[in-house]
Amino acid sequence: MLELAFSARDLAHTRLALSPLWEVVTSLRVLASPTARPLHRRWADRTLPRLAAAGLPGALLADLVPAQGYIPDFLNPPPPSLTPSPRADLALEGELAVLAAATPEQIRADLGRLAPWTPAVRAFDEDPAAVLPQLIDELRRYWEVALAPSWPRLRTVLEADVLHQSRRFAAGGAAAVLGELDARVEWCSEVLRLPQNTCDHKGTLSGRGLLLVPSAFVGPSVLLINRPTEVVQLCYPSRGVGMLWEQPSAEVPDAVAAVLGRSRALLLTELAAPASTTELSHRTGMSAAGVSQHLTALRAAGIVSSQRSGRSVFYQRTQLADSLLGASG
C-alpha cells in the first residue's frame, strides 16, 4: 500500500491538468495488452494496422511501456501547461521539450527498476544522451499516427472531466474530489492511499502538491509518479470515456420533445455530461450552427448552462432540465 500524507499547503496546491504525453503512454499500454480494454476496441482495431505500417512502436518504446508493471517515470514529467494547445501538431511539443531535458542519472535510475532488461533497454542505459532524441522522435510519430486524428474528441472528454472536477472543487473542496476520484484511491484523514499499489511506502507530499491528470486510456489501475523534487502526479480514469468511440443514440422523451421540439430534447439527453458544441454536433448529426442556436435558446430559458475551459465552451444541464427529464421518465 502507498500512503501519502497531505499538509494544508499540499491541499492548496492540488490542481488538474491535461497531458497529451500521458495519453501517449497510457494508450501504448492499452495496445500492448492482448485483451485491450473493450471501451477502446474500435480505436485499437483502427490504429494497430496504421502503426504496423509505420513500424511503430519500436523495440525500445515497446519495452519501456509493457502491458503491465512499471513504466519509467521520466516518460511523464509534469506538464508545463495545464491547458495544452488544441492543435494536434502543437499539443505534445511542450511536454516533449521537458522530456528532452531528462538527465542520464534520472533515466538510468528509472531503467534500473525495469526487469528483465532487453538489448534495447541496455543500449539506452549505456548512452541515454544519444538514444533519448530517437525515443522522443518515436513518441512524436506515434502521436501523429495513433492519437492526433482523435485529439479533438479526446480533448473534449478530458476537458469535460476537468470541468466536472473543478465544479466539485468549488462546491466541496479538495477532499470532495479526492474522496471520490476512483475506486482504487482512498482519502481519509488527509492521507491518500492506493491499496492496490505495488509500492509499500508511507510518506508525505512535503508541500509539493498533487497534480490530477485525467486519462481516457489509463486502467485498470491508476498511475502515480512520486519524485522527491517534483509535484506528485496521479493519472486517473476520465469520465465520459464510454461515449468516446461509440455514441449510442440517446432516447428522447416524447413528452419533452412535444414541449421543446425533438432537436432540443435530443441535445438535453446528450448533455448527461458536459459537452462542447462541436462534440454535440458530431453526436447528433446537426450542424454546429444549429446546435449553437438551440443551446442559446435553452440557456436563455435556464435549461442549460455554459462554462468556458481554455478555448472551449462546455454546456451542461441545469437542475431544471434534470427535473424535466426525470418527470418525463
**Type of residue found at 199:** C
**Type of residue found at 202:** K
Place of cell 519509467: 72
Q: Does residue 42 surpass a pLDDT of 80?
A: yes
Look at domain 247-328 and name its CATH class.
mainly alpha
Q: What is the per-residue pLDDT for 284?
A: 78
DSSP string, 146-184: IIGGGHHHHHHHHHHHHHHHHHHHHHHHHHHHHHTS-TT
Q: What is the per-residue pLDDT for 72?
A: 96
Question: What confidence tens digit (pLDDT) does each residue in 72-111 have?
Answer: 999 999 988 766 666 655 778 999 999 999 999 999 999 9
**What are the distances in angstroms from CA 273 to CA 157, 174, 197, 241, 298?**
9, 21, 30, 11, 16
Cell numbers representing residue 179 in the block: 474522496
Q: Does residue 310 surpass a pLDDT of 80?
A: no
At residue 285, the 3 state secondary structure works out as: coil
Whether the CB-CB separation of 309 and 163 falls below 8 Å is answered with yes
Residue % of the chain over a pLDDT of 70: 92
Q: Does residue 4 surpass a pLDDT of 70?
A: yes
Q: What is the per-residue pLDDT for 302?
A: 93
| Domain ranges across the chain | 2-241, 247-328
Q: What is the per-residue pLDDT for 198?
A: 55
Q: What is the per-residue pLDDT for 86?
A: 60
Nearest-Å Rg of the Cα atoms of the chain is: 21
Cell numbers representing residue 36 in the block: 485491450
User: Which helix (H) or strand (E) is 15 found in, with range?
Assistant: strand 15-16
Q: How confident is the model at residue 234 (pLDDT cuts 50, 70, 90)?
A: very high
Q: Which of 128-132, 236-240, 310-314 has the lowest mean pLDDT?
A: 310-314
Q: What is the per-residue pLDDT for 327?
A: 78
Question: What confidence tens digit (pLDDT) does each residue in 116-161 have?
Answer: 899 999 999 999 999 999 999 999 999 999 998 788 788 888 988 9
| Structure letter (DSSP) for residue 232 | E
Check residues 219 and 36 and name the one with the higher pLDDT: 219
**What are the distances in angstroms from CA 95 to CA 1, 19, 227?**
30, 8, 17
d(CA 322, CA 268): 9
Question: Could you tell me where the DSSP H helices lie in the chain?
Answer: 8-12, 20-32, 41-53, 59-64, 93-100, 104-111, 119-126, 128-142, 151-179, 254-260, 262-270, 277-284, 288-300, 319-328
d(CA 203, CA 211): 17
Q: How confident is the model at residue 30 (pLDDT cuts 50, 70, 90)?
A: very high
> Cβ contacts of residue 156 below 8 Å, gap of 6+?
275, 276, 278, 279, 312
| Structure letter (DSSP) for residue 74 | G
Q: Which long-range contacts (CB under 8 A, 24 or more apart) does 66-70 make?
A: 66/29, 66/32, 67/29, 67/32, 67/33, 67/34, 68/29, 68/33, 70/113, 70/114
d(CA 181, CA 196): 15
Average pLDDT, the chain: 87
Question: What confidence tens digit (pLDDT) does each residue in 197-216 have?
Answer: 656 677 888 888 899 999 99
